[in-house]
Structure 1
Amino acid sequence: MDLVEKKLQSELVYEGGFLKVHKDKVLLPDESHASREYILHPGAVAILALTPDRQLVLERQYRYPAGRVFLEIPAGKIDPDEAPEQTARRELLEETGYQAASWRYLGTAYPCIGYSNEQISYYLAEGLQAGERQLDEGEFLEVLTLPLEQVMQMALSGEICDSKSIVGLHWLAAYLDGRLPGAAV
């Protein structure tokens, strides 16, 4: 069965600083019509920054849309003409002050497929060296490190509950256990 929907018409409903909202008219596989509303996103990265003693670098940050503070892994949006790994290096330094000697790509996930094309590329950062944070204007967050096993339990208990962090922790666990392609045990 052909499940692809074909775009017939597209309207840009809103264009913000980095998000664009579209409303399209589409042709469905059964030849009927429907409308689709979605957000175009430039893409993002998420970083699992792991110390030699298996501490994970985390951030505590208020997220306005959800109206609460979250404990999460460092992340950020990809700037125009910037490679994802370059974004990961920049975001880790800006948000946490850490630089990493070793970087490994873990995978890419689509966190909101029902209404956005956002992709998040995940990276493991090791060989960390602490330095000075370079937060963007208007960016407020607290940086902390916690034992990896404690972080995993916090994700299972729901204390860490954003999908970006949960996916990253899943891939990190698979990598550390040697179950992720290219992983070293």
Structure 2
Amino acid sequence: MNEAPARADDVHLREETLASETVFQGRLLEVRRDRIRLPDGAEATREFIVHSGAVMIVPLLDDGRLVMERQWRYPLAQVMLEFPAGKLDAGEATRDCAQRELFEETGYRAREWALAGVLHNAIAYSSERIEIWFARGLTAGERRLDDGEFLDLQLCTVDELDRRCAAGEVTDAKTLIGLQWLQNWRVGRWAIPGFSP
């Protein structure tokens, strides 16, 4: 697990790992239980998920619409509207993963790619790191879904997605953050290196 270097003013908050145990090792993630020392010297347990990382893509069509996906999410037992995303393969560069996932899930290829930033969607219990990529100059093609992958594509305007988020119809954290980044970028508040609004 990557650890950020300690800042001098954060030392009083740091926790020290005393022992680490893998409770479950799956194909997608690992569940770990660590015994730790708290800043006051007491001991505690931390249970968390170790995840290899993922990407999310905000695909922008030339007419301003967004390429979205509707997909059944088993843990919630419902169909969710979300931006295309996927897990990194071992040793895979994140941009390569973004390009692969966009093509496989939507059939689109992009002429321009830019990394907007990173999000950690569940910091209390997961190490998952999701890179947010923007893609434009899209060309449609035939998608190649993985075995066992079922999803529908849906095109949305930014305003339509915003309304659905405000109404509580879209609750996926990465999609909410992707929309926030897009809206702030479009009005010049947030930068996406290599992309101009």
Q: Same fold (TM over 0.5)?
A: yes
Aligned to 2:82: 72
Identity across the alignment (%): 44
d(CA) in 2 for partners of 1:10 and 1:180? Answer: 39
Unpaired stretches in structure 1, ≥5 consecutive residues: none
Over the residues paired in the alignment, what is the CA RMSD in angstroms?
A: 1.0
Aligned to 1:58: 68
Q: Which moved more, 1:147-156 or 1:60-69?
A: 147-156
2:19 partner letter = Q
Helix, strand or coil at the partner of 1:154 = helix
2:147 matches 1:147: no
Give how far 1:18 is off: 2.1
d(CA) in 1 for partners of 2:182 and 2:92? Answer: 24
Helix, strand or coil at the partner of 1:171 = helix
Of 163, 172, 181, which aligns to 1:171?
Answer: 181
After TM superposition, the structure 1 = structure 2 runs for residues 5-154 of structure 1, keeping only pairs within 5 Å, are 5-154=15-164
Unpaired stretches in structure 2, ≥5 consecutive residues: 1-10
d(CA) in 2 for partners of 1:127 and 1:110? Answer: 28
Q: Could you list the per-position Cα deviations for residues 28-84 of structure 1 after superposition, in whole angstroms to 9, with x for gaps in the alignment?
A: 000000000000001010010011111100000000011111011100001111111
1:128 partner letter = L
2:99 partner letter = R
- Moved runs in structure 1, 4+ residues, more than 2 A? 181-185
Aligned residues: 185
Helix, strand or coil at the partner of 1:71 = strand
Give how far 1:184 is off: 2.5
Helix, strand or coil at the partner of 1:92 = helix
Q: Which moved more, 1:148-157 or 1:43-52?
A: 148-157
Q: Is this contact kept in 2: 1:106–1:172, CA < 8 A?
A: no
